[in-house]
Structure 1
């Protein structure tokens, strides 16, 4: 299938991705296989699989990829990500977090060890060439960043290619020690294409106009973006008197007044680091004009909560959602074909659009 989506690499002359990307059902379906199936998707944290014998079902990008997964930590402590689908007749194996010495299918009692190897199946005595490797549970590509877990169907590059720039910059943070605070979790659904939500996140140009409270905290003149291969960073500096990171000497930003590190990892993950910890935002397409956003809070220093750029996040979200849903209505206009980029403020959006075009190319899967 041919895709017409191209964006010039030179931001000073480039036009944005064609508006048809947001309204064409074929483009949405193509993105599911060429973008989301080929990137690392967040599958939660490791809290409920900390102990040997732990089993925890997960869903790989529910509403879009819809792949049932199973986290399994064996007796030796090794954590694996497996398919949660029985290799006999396709029944879901584990439906809730639990502990066990084996994985047993409730339908016909096929059993697997915690590494996914089939160990027992009743009434198969006459089956030839059985069992075979196909009877074992497929092991799913899987990786970890601190306590955060990621899986992929067929990743275009290793996990480090997507997240290595984050860990290189913030290696001094004890990410594995960040504590999940479920009381601050939020889930929102909006009537907008998932990419419009991402675009809004990726530029600070709108901050003075729709985020008055946040604009009082940030030093907008020195707000800047850094572009990496599969990720980018918006580095937010604070005005005098506002809460900032106490950066150690080994930090490359030591001596700067950093209010927040806003990391985006292609295509749909935001990692917002504040002096108090991490606000993880995960964008989940639910349809061509419907998106769910999950906010998960991981606290490092409780004494710094509710201050600085990391304060009032619910209000910032409401302001963003109102803007994004208005843009969704606008991009459907017959008269809107696309726009231009601010070379100084929209490098992140340009980077995002370039990656979309790259992944949507018909030969990308074979070339990468």
Structure 2
């Protein structure tokens, strides 16, 4: 198996080995090495609006497959919990509901909405019971406006070993990454947006099944180099000559500058971009989240790995200014998605060639892709 490495000097670097995109072992390893220690999107606070609301969900369905539970207790406090009873492993909550407490439907074990164990029938003779282990496992929860995120690593002890049923070799669990480290640059840059007022629009949201490795889809997003060649409509509203990429530790920003007369942000005076014709902020957060901010709202893309050569992409639309829908860079998103799908699916076929192993980077236009590959190489070690 190759040891992944990427030269930190983009002018000298070669792209990551093609094995990462086609080898099932690497796909399985990435589950614990890349996705478990990073942060994943849950949804919005609208899922649990009132005290007592409970919302069960599966974190990164099809890959991490972790059953979790979002609750709002009687004091209005939000909690992210394991949705698995600590007695015999039954799921605690089967569907969204409103309750004062959580009672397992298998043997009646009772918990508070913050996961604290309360009682258990027929357990008087059990010694050293209850203990901390009898509480529902609590996961970290990060909130920005209405958006909610969690990480599996915050609920597990780093340095221990994890064993995947498809990969019997133990894998060391890496340290959890603080949420502020992942999201601070984005929040500092566009924190003036009314993220507490966004409204989910299912009519503007879609799921796409893409026959390509999740990383191929992400790296396509991370460079504007292909826009003039793949996205004619988008290219018509963006000033490609002014398109820039800013790289941070676990995220990056592609700043979309609009052409004169196009729909652009009304930027506050304290914004570092004040005076620019910004039509879109394209933020990517490692490993699989894309935040596309437009004057009308947020188009959030979540890439869900399904297999070494297949992923699902969720396009979720959150609107705060409906009057600007259908204008500028934030219009025609379905067309852009299909254009991206076509090219990454062709890449997935092409990289299997015995004549391809590595490529090189455009120093000017592929900083984001180089950064992404460098993070993959670092986490996979």
Structures share a fold, TM > 0.5? yes
How far is 1:132 from its partner?
1.3
1:188 counterpart SS class = strand
In the alignment, structure 1 residue 48 sits paired with structure 2 residue 68: no
1:35 counterpart SS class = helix
Q: Which runs of 5+ in 2 are unaligned?
A: 155-175
Q: Distance in 2 between matches of 1:258 and 1:270?
A: 18
State which drifts further: 215-224 or 144-153: 144-153
Q: Distance in 2 between matches of 1:83 and 1:198?
A: 29
How far is 1:139 from its partner?
0.3
User: Any idea what the Cα deviations from partners look like across 1:314-353, whole Å, max 9, x if unmatched?
Assistant: 0000000000000000111111101000000000000000
State which drifts further: 147-156 or 257-266: 147-156
Instruction: Show the counterpart of 1:23.
Output: 22
Instruction: Show the counterpart of 2:220.
Output: 200
How far is 1:247 from its partner?
0.8
Q: Distance in 2 between matches of 1:95 and 1:318?
A: 35
Does structure 2 retain, via aligned residues, the 8 Å contact 1:3–1:360? no
1:216-365 matched pairs, under 5 angstroms: 216-361=236-381
State which drifts further: 201-210 or 143-152: 143-152
Root-mean-square deviation over aligned CA pairs? 0.9
Q: Distance in 2 between matches of 1:334 and 1:348?
A: 27
Q: Distance in 2 between matches of 1:115 and 1:179?
A: 27
In the alignment, structure 1 residue 5 sits paired with structure 2 residue 4: yes
Q: Distance in 2 between matches of 1:142 and 1:61?
A: 16
* Residues matched between the structures, number: 360
Q: Distance in 2 between matches of 1:95 and 1:32?
A: 25
1:168 counterpart SS class = helix
Q: Distance in 2 between matches of 1:162 and 1:179?
A: 24
Q: Distance in 2 between matches of 1:144 and 1:10?
A: 35
Q: Which runs of 5+ in 1 are unaligned?
A: 362-368
2:291 counterpart SS class = strand
User: Any idea what the Cα deviations from partners look like across 1:20-67, whole Å, max 9, x if unmatched?
Assistant: 111111111111110000100111111021211111112111111111
Instruction: Show the counterpart of 1:132.
Output: 131
Does structure 2 retain, via aligned residues, the 8 Å contact 1:223–1:234? yes
Instruction: Show the counterpart of 2:194.
Output: 174
How far is 1:210 from its partner?
0.8
User: Any idea what the Cα deviations from partners look like across 1:249-273, whole Å, max 9, x if unmatched?
Assistant: 1211111000100000000000000
1:34-113 matched pairs, under 5 angstroms: 34-113=33-112
User: Any idea what the Cα deviations from partners look like across 1:58-79, whole Å, max 9, x if unmatched?
Assistant: 2111111111111111111111
Q: Distance in 2 between matches of 1:3 and 1:127?
A: 51
Could you tell me the TM-score, scaled by structure 2's length? Answer: 0.93
User: Any idea what the Cα deviations from partners look like across 1:80-132, whole Å, max 9, x if unmatched?
Assistant: 10100000100001111111100011111111011111112111121111111
Instruction: Show the counterpart of 2:147.
Output: 148
Q: Distance in 1 between matches of 2:94 and 2:204?
A: 26
Q: Distance in 1 between matches of 2:190 and 2:151?
A: 24
2:290 counterpart SS class = strand
Does structure 2 retain, via aligned residues, the 8 Å contact 1:259–1:308? yes
Q: Distance in 2 between matches of 1:143 and 1:243?
A: 31
Provide runs of 4+ in structure 1 moved above 3 Å. none
2:314 counterpart SS class = strand
Q: Distance in 2 between matches of 1:44 and 1:59?
A: 12
Could you tell me the TM-score, scaled by structure 1's length? Answer: 0.96
Q: Distance in 1 between matches of 2:283 and 2:132?
A: 40
